[in-house]
Structure formats: structure tokens, C-alpha cells
Structure 1
Amino acid sequence: MSAELQASRRDATLILTLSNPGAKNALHPDMYAAAVETLSTAERDDSIRAVVLTGADNFFCAGGNLNRLLENRSKEKSVQAESINNLHGWIEAIRDCPKPVIAAVEGAAAGAGFSLALACDMIVAGTSAKFVMAYVKVGLTPDGGGSWFLSRALPRQLATEILIEGKPVGAPRLHELGLVNKVVADGTALDTALNWADELAALSPNAVERIKSLTQDAQNNSLAQHFETEKHHFVESLHHRDAQEGINAFLEKRKPQYK
């Protein structure tokens, strides 16, 4: 069987499963375009309220395939550069998707697999799950935005440790550092992520989309700029049908029903 990104649905949640049997779900260029297309479709589908990214066979992703990288050394540099561009397109699609994206990590998230998890809005991990940026172990440097995500999320010293040492970091430690949202019993990360997605699906889609946008804008905005951005989103949200339903439901002491 070849490497593929499998797509399925559970109610309002789109489930994307990394599958590469026998290779610990190592990434392949065929996955990249499929991921971008699937996320683009999800963006336009109002029936999808959340996305969960996971790996088959209780293992998230081993990252890039070293044998394929060795083959690419005999080709023009542009071949590898194009492959990385396509990977980065997938990362951008996760970040740009207006729906919340949750990573459900079992086993390990290594290299670009770690980058994929970091690109998601939230991470659920099994207790024994490991996260590793081992590029340095084979004389390589990170891709997939891994060094950007870690440098933004952690103090420089900790990000440098993870990237330069290339040693596995356990889910509990990343939870303490704020990079992993929930640590759960091994084998339950996907179910936990799906249940969490169900909870998010009951919230205002308009508000969720705008809040995701705000958290991303905050990384680059000055406070003065962000005041303006928040004002815009608040006013637009107030005049959206979701606000009418949400406010009425609160005052009437009932659960809101968002369309």
C-alpha cells in the first residue's frame, strides 16, 4: 500500500488520517496536494465545523522518508525545493483553514510530522507520545515551519535545545510548556480529539472562525493594530445571526442552536 492521506467524517468533524503502512506514516509528496485540496473543500463546507489530523495504526508521523531524500541528492536542488514548497502549502492550509484543527498524536510526531502537529490549533497526545526534531541527527535542518513554531511558542533557550539536540520530548513535558493541550491515556488521543471537536461544533461557527483569525493576527500585530482588528471582528460578530441566537439563548436559559 502507498502513502496517502485518508479523509473521513464523523458528524460535523472531518478526520484526516496520515497513512503509510510499514513506514510509520512517513510523509510523501502525494499527501501534500491532497491535504491542500481537502482542507480547501472543508473551508467551503458549512457542515464541517472542525478538523482532526491523526495517524494510522496508533502512530502519528515519522516525518520525511530518508530513502527518498537520499534519492533527491542525485537530482537538481529544485526538486527538493519544490517538495518543501508543497509541504509548506499544506502547513499554510492548516493555518488558513477557518475551522479549528486538532492534532491527535499517538506514538511519535517526528520531523515534519512534529511541524504538522505544531501547525494545528490544538494538540491532544497520548501519555507516552514523543515529539522530536531530529533533523540535526542526520545533518539536516528543519522544514515545515518547525523552527518558527517552536521559536514563537517557547523561550529561545528551550526552542534551541529541542532543535539542536534533536532528542525526543515527551508529551507531559510539552504539556507543561504549553505546546500540548491535553495528555490522555495511550490509545485514546483520537477519541478525545473527536469529542473535543464535537464540543467545538456546538459553538458559533462565525465566532470560532474569527477567534482563530485573531490569534494568528496577534502574532504580528502591534497592540494598537490589534485593537482595530478586535473592534472590526466584534462589530461584525454582533451583527451576525450567530450573536442573535447566542444572546437570545443565554437570556432564555437554553442551549444555542447555530446553523
Structure 2
Amino acid sequence: MSNVQDMPLITRREGAVLVLSNNNPAARNALSPAFYLALTEALHNAKNDPTVGAIVLTGEGGHFCAGGDLRQLVKRRELSVPERREKLEGLHDLIRAVRDCPKPVIAAVEGAAAGAGVSLALACDMLVAARNAAFSVAYVKIGLTPDGGATAFLAQFVSRQVLTELCLTGERVSGERLHALGPVNRLAEPGEALNEALTLAKQLAAGPDEAMANIKALCHGAYDNTLEQQLEQEAQFMVHAQASEESREGMAAFLEKRPADYTQLRQPRG
């Protein structure tokens, strides 16, 4: 039986919520290929598990993720450009897996979220952060440039000037400031980010799976689509939803003044 300390990812259930925790506390949960694989597999399994309604991503030992492992990054100098690109795509594939998961994914951030750790947090659908959490697009500090979609995600919230400041200085930004800038959905007192995220996740987990997956797709496309493209996507989803079992249950519950129960409608995804 594997020792929990050797697992790159710890998983547990809180009812319909799947909690996934980065487990490299000795290195402030720095990223590794083993973590990429474990998290991608966990997201894939959750996609096909009808008992999972929402996912919370967090970190062990009081930190979310310190980004790339500097000891491993130093070794990449010895690789060819294609080899370095292949290594980087491991991170980018993970970011895509988080973004494309049809279940709601909520980041719960305590302590440090630096470099690609910021990218990973922002790739999630929602973000709960402790007031004193420290976010840093820290690449410039070691002569590197951002990856993992950090600039793309931040550009959805902040001006070019603020984006440039964050990336060129690499200075730490508190959870409170990031909340003021827009990316943080809920602020928590220190040590309470996971509990706040679980409360939010449990609320989402009670919702209609198919409708929420389509809402996620609409929200992702809204930043790049033209109005006509977005109207078309909304129309396709709406005309389908109007005949779904989820809407049958939801509208009946509303008219009957009772809570909707979607649990009997959940089926494994292909």
C-alpha cells in the first residue's frame, strides 16, 4: 500500500464534492510531472463519475502551490528546445484539463501561490483565498517569463498596466488585493479558505450537471466570441435545455415550491 506522503495528490470526498490536494509540502507544493498526471487523471475520473458534483483544488501544509520546481527547471538548460517545449506542455495540458472539466472546479488558496501556482488557481472556475494568501507572478525574479496561461487569465480581470506591473515586478499580492482586482470570488480568514470553498462547492454540487457544464462553456467563450457567436451558442444550449429532464425537474420544483432534486438524473459521462 502506498504511503500518503509519497502521493503527489491526496483525494477525499465531502459528500458530492471531490477534494484534490497538492501533496508536496516540503517544497511548498511545487509542481511535478507526477502531479500533472495525477491531477489530470483525477479530473478525468470526476468527469465520468455521476456522484461528483463539484471539485475543490487545494494544497497540503498551508500553501497552495509555489509553481515550478526550480531544481528541475535548472536542468532544462541541458535539453534541446523541442525537449524543453515537451516538458512545458505537461503544465499546459494540465491547465487545459482544469479549464475543460465539465464539473465546477474551485481553488482554495492559503499561503503561497506563485508562478504556475497562480496559473493553476486562475484556471479554476472560481477562487476562494485567505486574506493573507500571497499571489506572485514571480517568473521575472529568476529571469523567466510567465507560462500556464497566467497572462491570459489575469488579462480577463485587470488593465494592461496592472498586468504589466504584476508580471514585471513579480511582487506579492495579497488575497485581499486580488479580490479587489476581481479574480477572487470569496475572501476567507486565514486557515478558512478550504472551508469556504467547500461551502460554495456543496452549493454547486446540488445543481444540474448538464446545465452547469453548458454554463461553464458559455462563460469561457464569452471573452472571445462575438455577440452573434455567443447568441448562437446560447440558443443551441437553451433549446436543448428546455426539453431536458433537468429543466423538467427544476421548473416543477419551482412551481411546487420545493427544492429541486437532480441526484436521480445524473448519469456517467462518456
Smaller-chain TM-score bracket = over 0.9
- Structure 1: how far apart are the matches of 2:65 and 2:36? 14
**Residue 127 (structure 2) pairs with residue 133 (structure 1):** no
What is the TM-score when the length of structure 1 is the normalising length?
0.97
- Structure 2: how far apart are the matches of 1:234 and 1:241? 13
Which residue is equivalent to 1:209?
A: 213
What is the TM-score when the length of structure 2 is the normalising length?
0.93
Letter paired with 1:213: A
Q: How does 1:93-112 map to 2 (within 5 A)?
A: 93-112=97-116
**Residue 257 (structure 2) pairs with residue 250 (structure 1):** no
Which residue is equivalent to 1:181?
A: 185
Which residue is equivalent to 2:25?
A: 21
Q: Deviations over 1:178-208 (max 9, x none)?
A: 1101111110100111111111111121221
Which residue is equivalent to 1:233?
A: 237
Could you tell me which of 199, 207, 211 is aligned with 2:203?
199
Could you tell me which of 90, 93, 118 is aligned with 1:89?
93
Could you tell me which of 58, 64, 67 is aligned with 1:63?
67
Which residue is equivalent to 1:115?
A: 119
1:74 shift after superposition: 2.0
Letter paired with 1:217: G
**Residue 149 (structure 2) pairs with residue 124 (structure 1):** no
8 Å CA contact 2:28–2:112 kept in 1: the answer is no
**Identity fraction in percent:** 47
Q: How does 1:122-161 map to 2 (within 5 A)?
A: 122-161=126-165
1:3 shift after superposition: 6.5
**Residue 172 (structure 2) pairs with residue 168 (structure 1):** yes
Could you tell me which of 32, 38, 45 is aligned with 2:49?
45
- Structure 1: how far apart are the matches of 2:81 and 2:232? 43
Q: Deviations over 1:77-108 (max 9, x none)?
A: 33322121011111001111011100000001
Q: For structure 2, which runs of at least 5 residues remain unmatched after alignment?
A: 264-270
Q: Deviations over 1:6-25 (max 9, x none)?
A: 22221111111111131101
Range moving further from structure 2, 8-17 or 138-147: 8-17
Q: How does 1:5-20 map to 2 (within 5 A)?
A: 5-20=9-24
Q: For structure 1, which runs of at least 5 residues remain unmatched after alignment?
A: none
- Compared with structure 1, are the counterparts of its residues 126 and 111 closer, same or farther at alpha carbon in structure 2 (3 Å cutoff)? same
- Structure 1: how far apart are the matches of 2:146 and 2:200? 30
Q: Deviations over 1:25-59 (max 9, x none)?
A: 11011111221111111111111111100000111
- Structure 2: how far apart are the matches of 1:258 and 1:240? 12
